[in-house]
Copies of this chain bind each other. A is one copy, B any other.
């Protein structure tokens, strides 16, 4: 950001932006109306943070639900307008210890899918009412381990119940109920969000018109589980972790950073890293700085900045949900085709050629299972060097897919019969 740049094309006032956004809160579980989790636990206090863009049509048939990935939040588009204080240096500042207050992080940039959502954008807010909520167990406004358990007056920490992709989808359904929304035009998600989109199609077949699954398959690979395991190991064995009871003290920052650095490698492709960093050495800021490759510094930066914005306990809960999701097991007794027989939505599955976290093969396995039931499914394998991150980076290709999929059949449905 230098003074030479022209007024931001991509700011809250730009024509394609949804502008300033104030996140909303919905109380979705109370002692009178608890929320039963798949684990069997029952939560009597759940607040969900969500955002909404566009207008709900009078026929309530223009709803697009977004499901976010592991470390994302409800803030999918526009600029967070809740608190605009800057520090004296003019920069937004995040706490160094503990989990970060999400607001300050959000204010540095627009929502995580701002390229896709807005007036005239692929998920066109002139046409659609777009809803995105933060998942249970995360740390961005929805109840999670960092929050105070009203029953004890202390943060939940590891006493927070196990959460699943199924729980998240049920809670999203409860959110839509509370907004008076029944059937949704589409649900869209990438990565762990893509698994939520799939779960929507399986758990609520009658409520979903289209399910758009990007860079996600019916389960994480064993290798993916293994990487998450090592990440959790690093967190849990950070001496600051203290069995998850670290709020108000130093957070297990190094463990969480290591987990993120490792995960970050799985979001990029081998070839992409080679192009981006190769064997370039890091320019040393100080003569005594540790010598190392640029990729090493980059990962350390990624780890450090993640620690400022994410809670270590949440990381454990959310990655466990990611590991545990298995659509075939949940709905088909282990057989994915049997599971997919439940689907009524039009499916769109997109994989990315260099994605090795949710591989094209894994996505095609899902597509085949849907096909076996004679269900409508569109599949695209998008060539990209950006690995798993491609679902966020390949904006033009993904945008075209989304625009086409969301509009398909829509004018016809509205035309007089």
Contact = CB atoms under 8 A, between A and B. Distances in A.
Interface stretch (A41-49, A103-111, A291-299): A291-299
A401 interface: no
Given A258-B237, A258-B258, A279 B230 contact: no
Contact of A226 (B223, B233, B299, B359): B299
Main DSSP-derived SS at the A contact region? helix
Interface of A: 219, 221-223, 225-227, 229-230, 233-234, 237-239, 254, 257-258, 261-262, 265, 268, 270, 273-274, 276-279, 292-293, 295-296, 299-300, 303, 323, 326, 329, 356, 359
B229 A293 contact: yes
A28 to B, nearest CB: 27
A261 B230 contact: yes
Nearest to A274: B222
Contacts of A238: 254
Given A237-B254, A278-B222, A229 B270 contact: no
Contact of A229 (B227, B278, B296, B323): B296
B257 A222 contact: no
Most buried by B among A258, A274, A356: A258
B261 A300 contact: no
Given A219-B279, A279-B326, A303-B233, A226 B258 contact: no
State how many copies of this chain the complex holds: 2
Given A258-B234, A300-B233, A226 B295 contact: yes
Most buried by B among A237, A268, A329: A237
Q: Give the top 5 A-B pairs by smallest Cβ distance, nearest first.
A: A237-B254, A229-B296, A222-B273, A223-B270, A230-B261
B299 A230 contact: yes
